[in-house]
Structure 1
């Protein structure tokens, strides 16, 4: 039987690659985007593409409703993937900016996850896969908003995995390191909206951050294409007993090892280099 999956954040990058690869492998893929024009583009490419914007709960309900109507009320897997960043120092991050990014990167994930659990319970199977990050367990400077949403996601997902152990639902984290996506480009409007660099006590330090945002500085060390995440997603979907976590990129493996071995202050020095 054809298996079904709902993937969010499919306009580009990780979600876009995963949607097309799984579609080509015979999955019934629902490649959600938060903008109507992106949904239209994916539909033109042969994909089902419901509109789901994590910051708008009504679109989560409506989008999932469209998915369940198309599948006859079932869903084999959910891949929560869409997210963005607000680069900047924590002291310059307004609380309202933090609230907004949590709606997209955390609360939206939770709303959609809670909505699919009854469906998976009723059908007697299911996989909930969350796209976290190396920044979900190891913080780096200038990324406080994104770090905090991913740390929160890891804690919530770990709890859910433990609680769901008496059900046929698998709960899994994928933790990428640097991946070739538009996350920097997409973060620029949020950076410009929320971070007042001129008024910051760190105004002179923002030059390097702006270079990373506005200039093509090439690939990061250990950066891999989105397909590397898709490969781990496929493992998580097909393994009879999937791992709780799947690391992606050498950087994630290195940082995971350092996190276990180094004292906190020494790890701070390593990661503090940015």
Structure 2
């Protein structure tokens, strides 16, 4: 049965790939972008099955208006995919206040505003699925991506809490956590701090780790996303790519070992 999916950041990358995969199989898609011209090819190909909407996710009122327009146009919103976001590359010391606020504003608050906006619609329907595009960097971290890491850790905590709060309304929440993929996320979609020479070694080590073999093929993710959308019992978290699971497993094993070595100190701090 065809579904209606609202997806942000549909102008390029994962957003556009997934929007087209959904349209190809007959779903109805509300596709948002800052520049509607980037959606002209999908509109020409899929006609009335796509509703393109101009949206800056940082504008909370515009997000509410877009959700309401989508509901009015298609009659329901079965799935919200919060995909809009970008990467800020730079060390924490290099990051300006404006850069830091911009990263959190888009990656975290933009996602929060759309989630809040769609909840009344889904509660009234008695069903819905909110899919948050997080990252493997919501579990593990990399130098030079500190603010991006922080934004995705925040998305993880928000979404896990949201899942518990809305379960009783028939609303499901899932986090998609990709490892690196060969999209333009690190290119045209990214921002850069002004580099400090003191961190040249850190940046060089980061760049040396970006070998081609670690990046997945973006088009290969569509099938997994369609399966997630169609699942009657979707997982709270879904890794995308072969690198994510082993990396995060290694990270958590290291954390458990460290926690275990300090457990007596931790227990004594209870005071009783």
TM-score range, shorter chain: 0.7 to 0.9
Relative to structure 1, is the Cα distance of residues 224 and 166 closer, same or farther in structure 2, using a 3 angstrom cutoff?
A: same
C-alpha distance in structure 1 between counterparts of 2:211 and 2:253, whole Å? 28
Q: Specify the alignment match of 2:10 in structure 1.
A: 10
Tell me how far apart the structure 2 counterparts of residues 206 and 218 of structure 1 sit (CA, whole Å).
Answer: 11
Check the 8 A contact 1:54/1:105 in 2, yes or no: no
Alignment RMSD: 2.3
Q: Do the aligned partners of 1:222 and 1:249 also contact (CA within 8 Å) in 2?
A: no
CA contact (8 A) 1:84 1:186 kept: no
Q: Report the secondary structure of 2:239's partner residue.
A: strand
Report how many residues are paired. 255
Equivalent residue, structure 2, for 1:269: none
Query: 3-state DSSP class of the match of 1:174?
Result: strand
How much has 1:221 moved relative to structure 2?
Answer: 2.6
Residues 39 and 51 in structure 1, CA contact (< 8 A), matched pair in contact too: no
Q: 2:229: which partner in 1?
A: 237
Task: Point out the structure with the larger strand share.
Answer: 2
Q: CA deviation at 1:218?
A: 8.6
Calculate the TM-score normalised by the size of structure 2.
0.85
- In structure 1, the residue matched to 2:194 is 196
Contact 1:88 1:144 survives alignment (8 Å) = yes
Secondary structure of the corresponding residue to residue 48 of structure 1:
strand
Structure 2 contact 79–130 (Cα < 8 Å) conserved: yes
Q: Aligned-pair distance for 1:12?
A: 1.3
Match of 2:262 in 1: none
CA 179–203 in structure 1, closer or farther in 2 if over 3 Å, else same: closer
Question: Is 2:20–2:42's contact at 8 Å kept on the other side of the alignment?
Answer: no
**Corresponding residue for 2:267?**
none
What's the offset of the Cα at 1:35? Answer: 1.8
Which runs of structure 2 are paired with 1:13-24 in the superposition (5 Å)?
13-24=13-24
**Which of structures 1 and 2 has the bigger CA Rg?**
2
The 8 Å contact of residues 174 and 232 in structure 1, kept in 2 or not, is answered as: no
Partners of 1:228 and 1:248 within 8 A in 2: no
Query: 1:85 aligned to 87, 91, 100, which one?
Result: 87
1:2-151 equivalences under 5 Å are 2-46=2-46, 47-72=50-75, 74-151=76-153
Distance 1:5 1:63, change over 3 A: same
Which runs of no fewer than 5 residues in structure 1 stay unpaired?
A: 267-274
Q: Within the alignment, does 1:260 sit opposite 2:252 as a pair?
A: yes
TM-score by length of 1: 0.85
Contact in 2 for aligned 1:5/1:77 (Cα 8 Å): yes
